[in-house]
Each structure stands twice: as structure tokens, then as C-alpha cells.
Amino acid sequence: MEVACCIAGCGPAGAVLGLLLARAGVDVLVLEKHADFLRDFRGDTLHPSTLQLFDELGLGDRLLELPHQEAEVLSVTTDDGDFTLADFRRLPGRHRYLAFMPQWDFLDFVVAEARRLPGFELRMRAEALGVLEEDGRVAGLAYRDQDGAAHQVRARLTVAADGRDSSLRRSAGLRPRMFGAPMDVLWFRLPRHPADGRQTFGRLAAGHLLVLIERGGYWQVAYLIAKGAMDELRQAGLDRLRASIAGLVPFLGDRVQALRTWDDVRVLRVQVDRLRRWFRPGLLCIGDAAHAMSPVGGVGINLAVHDAVAAANLLARPLRDGSLSTWHLARVQLRRTLPTVVVQWGQRTIQDRFLSPLLEGRLGTGPPGVLELLRRYPVLQGVPARLVGLGILPEHVRSPTADDYLRPSARAGV
């Protein structure tokens, strides 16, 4: 099989790139190894800059018709009271909030839009196995279908959007630089009662950080543990975890039994890494395959989507007219390096200066000084909102639509 572009992985990066290239009239085949998108506890936060991109595509209103929750402020509760960390109402633009939307709904939506376009094809239960090489360049990939049969796809451009354990980038000999992280995250659900009445918030106490994301009928809870501490926690027993949750957030005490076994608790192995080179001739890595992000700030999806938009902006025309060169791929990395480096630097600073001492119980008593500062000068609450919500160098949709290639007379129907 031969296509202009073959994308491995239909997460946020692969799905959005597939949509944008098909919209520009490029033939694109997306391969996804799972049968559906129904995986719990993935990145679910859509930031204002990402919502803005969907507005630019004319899809923003329809996207927001899907069930979601909106958080206008992010706050944290300490033993000394409540503090506001970020106030998104201080942002410019139409979307002054974070939207929490299940990732499967988001991906179903993007794929449904892409499927309306003639050049888009998605194959589920198709696992990319590795790149095909020809004269020193990547000329496509090999994949296994749902029946276990192996196939080859030849493509002008192969994109690794297969996440942070990308097998495609490994097969192409690209190795990320690992930065390490001091923590892992436990994710679980607890029932939410109408009287709980709190928006998404964090609970900070000596040795602990817990984040409660309001998901309509339930709380999605992130519970930070020191890296590698899971075995110890398991040995201590589930009751110890339940008691810790109830101690931190007393109103959850009456429902911690909803955690019946350890199967109700997922562990996110936090990983921060980045490729030195995101490309080889014929191959580009984007999203987590190019840079795994820490969960700090919940920016993973948004960076992945913005990578996809930058790639489509820079590659759609050369892919369509057959002039794609390695220089075009290098420009995608050039464009996206600054936002990635800055965000990872910020995340690592927060991990090393704050989360690591917190989890080791080395943090002094009383709220961190920065929280006091944000409380005293509320205008500063717009700064974290801007960094998280809009990010650095947010992308805008500039890739063409297929109609842009038609002669003006054809566009006018003459």
C-alpha cells in the first residue's frame, strides 16, 4: 500500500495531524493498535489554546457540545486554608477555563470529523512494528493487523505519534534523553456527591499532594507518591491508602471503600524525556513520542495537539506537491523545541524544588511562599493561568484546505 503520509498512533497528536492533513487534501493512513479509545485516566484537559485551535477549524462549538467540565480557577487547600493557584478568567479570548473532557470522547470527535474527508483512513487494531528503510531514508512502516498478519505501507512521510514508549522511534534508532522524575501518580475514581460542591482542586499537606478533578458523577483523583514507592504502599495495604485519603480530604472518608482492590488504582509511571532529533529523512516524531511530559500542569495533550498543528502547517503543502525534504521536518522540530524545552524546564523545576522535598517530608510547615504571594496579589494568578492555558508560542491553524489548491475559477464554480 502507498500513501503520502502514514501515522502510527491515534492519540491526540496522530488524530489531529491526520485530520489536518486530510483537510489539506493529503492522503493519510492512521494506524492505532487498540480496538477503541476507551482507556481510563489519560490526559483529559483541553486548555484554552487548544480550544482556540478548534475554533479556528470551525469545530469549537461542536466540540464543546460533548460532556465536559469547565474549571475557571485552580486552587489548592492546605492546613492553613484555600489558595488560588491560577485564575483563567484573567486570560484574553473566548475560552477562559480549562475543559476536562474524557480523552476517548475527544478522539472519537476528531476521528469522526476526519472520516468525513476523502483522504483520511484509520485502521484500528493495527500495530506499527517498525520503519522500512530504503537508501538511508525511512520509506514507510511495517504493521500487524488484528489477525496477526504483517503488512507494509510505503509513505513519503512516516510519523511516529505512538506515545512515550514509541516502538517506531526505537526501530528508527532515535533515543530520547531521560530527565528522571521524583514521583509516580496513582489514579483512581471516587463517587462524587452533589453536596461536595467543590470544583477541581488540590490538597497539599506534609508529605502529600492529592488532586481532585470534578468529573460530574465522580471525582478523578491523582495521588502523588515518591518514585518507586508503589511496592511499599501495596505491602502496607489498601486500608493505609484509604486512611490517607480520608485524612487529607475528610469528606471522602465515607466513600473510600469504593476502592475495593488494587485493580481500582492505576499507576502512572511519570517520565520526562525528549529526543535530541525529532526526525530522520522520511520520519518525524511528534507528541509524547518526541517528548514525554510530566503531569505537572496537565499539558501533555495540548503540546501533542500543537505539535500536530505545527507539523500540518509546515508539511501539508510539500507533502501535497511532492517537494517534502528533510529540511521541512527539521523546521517542525525548530518550531516546537522552544515550547517543549521551556515547559519541561518548568515542570522539572517544580518537581525538584517542590514535589521532591514535599514527598520526602522535607518541606517546612506552613504554605509555600509562592501561595502567600498569589493570595496577596491576585493579579499574579493570571501568570500561571497564562503559562498553563496559553503556553509558549501557541500554534494557529495555517495549513491549507483542499479547496485552497483549486484554481480560483474552480473555487467559484466557473
**Segment near ligand FAD (CB under 6 A), from 40-48, 53-61, 273-281, 392-400?**
40-48
Site for ligand FAD (CB under 6 A): which residue of 268, 350, 392, 402? 268
Our CB check for ligand FAD shows the closer of 315 and 400 to be: 315
Out of 127, 214, 273, 395, name the contact with ligand FAD by CB under 6 A: 127
**Residues making up the chain, counted from first to last:** 414
Residue from 4, 20, 26, 41 binding ligand FAD (CB under 6 A): 41
When asked if residue 189 is in the footprint of ligand FAD (CB under 6 A), the reply is no
Residue among 42, 95, 255, 336 that touches ligand FAD (CB under 6 A): 42
Residue whose cell numbers read 504554605: 367
What distance in Å separates the CA atoms of residue 110 and residue 19, rounded to the nearest whole number?
Answer: 7
As given in the structure block, the three cell numbers for residue 21 are 492533513
Question: Of the ranges 8-16, 51-59, 75-83, 345-353, which one interacts with ligand FAD (CB under 6 A)?
Answer: 8-16
User: Would you give the DSSP letter of residue 231?
Assistant: H
> Which residue number, 95 or 320, has a Cβ lying nearer to ligand FAD?
95
Least CB distance from residue 289 to ligand FAD, whole Å? 6
Cell 483512513 appears where? 121
DSSP letter for each residue of 34-57: SSSS--SSS--EE-HHHHHHHHHT
Residue 405: burial class (beta carbons within 10 Å; 0-12, 13-18, 19+): middle
Q: Under the criterion CB under 6 A, does residue 31 sit at the interface with ligand FAD? A: yes
Region from 25-33, 81-89, 337-345, 387-395 binding ligand FAD, contact rule CB under 6 A: 25-33
Task: Establish if 25 lies at the interface with ligand FAD (CB under 6 A).
Answer: no
What DSSP line would sit under 279-340, residue for residue?
Answer: EETTEEE-GGGT-PPPSTTS-HHHHHHHHHHHHHHHHHHHHHHT---HHHHHHHHHHHHHHH
With CB under 6 A as the rule, give the number of residues binding ligand FAD: 35
Identify the CA nearest to 260 among candidates 243, 285, 247, 242: 242
Residue numbers at the binding site for ligand FAD (CB under 6 A): 8-14, 31-34, 41-45, 127-128, 161-163, 167, 187, 268, 287-289, 293, 295, 298-302, 304
